Amino acid sequence: MSWKELAQTQPYVVQMLTSSLKKERLAHAYLFEGSRGTGKKRVALQLAKSFFCGKKEGVEPCQICPDCKRIDHGNHPDLHLIEPDGQSIKKQQVEHLQKEFTYRGVESSKKVYLIDQADKMTASAANSLLKFLEEPGAPTLALLLTEQVQHMLSTVLSRSQILTFSPLPREAFIKILTNEGISLPISSLLSSLTTSYEEAMGLAEGEWIAQARNVVIQLVEELHSRQNQVMFTLQEKWFPHFKERKEQELGLDLLLLWYRDLLYTQVGKDDALTYLDQKETLSQQVLSSSQSRISESMSAIMEAKRYLSANVHPQLLMEKLMLRLQEG
Ligand SMILES: [Zn+2]
């Protein structure tokens, strides 16, 4: 499997990863999130090959050297797979690996941790892993896979670059929606929110989603350049529009999609944008934002979503979130 082939099903993820590979600027930890069957593990193994292979052509691993072959056979000495042991991934599982690395005296070589169902890590397992990742030394890459990003610990989210694996060819879904008479900006938004035709058509009824989109755009513009307005807009526009729990969740999703667009804008992936008629604003905002800053904002929004599902008062969590988003 080549990156080129993988790009056919996950073009955006592959673009992000290969562009970092080219610049030799991979993050220390990636979180691949997306539903079952989206190719997270395939991409992770390919990335591990590109990471280890000494005979790459550009970013493409050679597929025939001992490193590549061992990854195919699942017995590469420096690629470690961690999976839930029963209900969870426990601290001992992470520590066991760390000890193993030390015993074998291979601290100087590169290492990859592949953690499947990373949302099942206990807090102490996650902390143990993070501590290890932050220790200076040999290049270490952690690839965390999850179908349940909402259950990930915020400490992990904030230290990982989050890549979303999309279940459906987006363009195809957008076309279906525009054929139903839904405008392109709204079709684009819906196709980022759901892959279900029924859900998309339900959301598209009436003016609610178009107004929601306007509120989000106003808020992110203010977060960027008119920060003294933010709390006012929150009171006057956000809360009156996003009333029910479900609507509040959707509001946070819309906000998250804006920050994801900033990431896409940064890597020049304009055709992946959700807010595709907002290119100009996105390009302006990205000038004063770093990739890590954008990732932090996304983590903050996901954390707010978790607080929401844990029944924290929406007013409180939104105000806190606005403060965090303003920090940049
Ligand atoms: Zn190779």
DSSP code at position 80? E
What is the 63 CA–ligand 1 centroid distance (Å)? 5
CB 262 within 8 A of CB 289: yes
What is the 237 CA–ligand 1 centroid distance (Å)? 55
Task: Pick the closest to residue 282 from 293, 270, 297, 300 (CA basis).
Answer: 270
Q: Report which residue type is found at 206.
A: G
What is the 60 CA–ligand 1 centroid distance (Å)? 9
Per-residue pLDDT tens digits for 253-284? 999 999 999 999 988 888 889 999 999 999 99
* Residue 300's pLDDT band (cuts 50, 70, 90): very high
Structure tokens given for 19: 């562009």
Give, in order, the Cα–Cα distances in Å from 197 to each of 10, 191, 203: 20, 9, 10
Structure tokens given for 122: 């206990």
CB 93 within 8 A of CB 125: yes
Options 3.30.160, 1.10.150, 3.20.20, 1.20.272; which CATH number does 206-326 get?
1.20.272
Residue with structure tokens 């690839």?
143
What is the 118 CA–ligand 1 centroid distance (Å)? 27
What is the 53 CA–ligand 1 centroid distance (Å)? 4
Average pLDDT, whole number, for the chain?
89
What is the 114 CA–ligand 1 centroid distance (Å)? 18
Q: How far apart are CA 130 and CA 127, in angstroms?
A: 5
CB 29 within 8 A of CB 158: no
Q: How far apart are CA 272 and CA 71, in angstroms?
A: 31
Per-residue pLDDT tens digits for 9-44? 789 999 999 999 999 999 988 999 987 667 899 899
What is the 296 CA–ligand 1 centroid distance (Å)? 34
Per-residue pLDDT tens digits for 124-163? 998 888 877 776 566 788 999 998 888 888 888 888 899 9
What is the 142 CA–ligand 1 centroid distance (Å)? 20
What is the 56 CA–ligand 1 centroid distance (Å)? 6
What is the 12 CA–ligand 1 centroid distance (Å)? 24
**What's the 3-state SS for 181-238?**
CCCHHHHHHHHHHCCCHHHHHHHHCCCHHHHHHHHHHHHHHHHHHCHHHHHHHHHHHH
Per-residue pLDDT tens digits for 92-110? 998 887 777 666 555 457 8
Question: Domain ranges in the chain?
Answer: 3-164, 206-326
What is the 282 CA–ligand 1 centroid distance (Å)? 38
What is the 299 CA–ligand 1 centroid distance (Å)? 34
Q: Which fold has domain 3-164?
A: Rossmann fold (3.40.50)
Q: Report the predicted TM-score, pTM, of the whole model to 2 decimal places.
A: 0.54
What is the 19 CA–ligand 1 centroid distance (Å)? 19
What is the 326 CA–ligand 1 centroid distance (Å)? 44
What is the 1 CA–ligand 1 centroid distance (Å)? 12
3-164 with 206-326: one CATH topology? no
Q: How far apart are CA 166 and CA 299, in angstroms?
A: 19
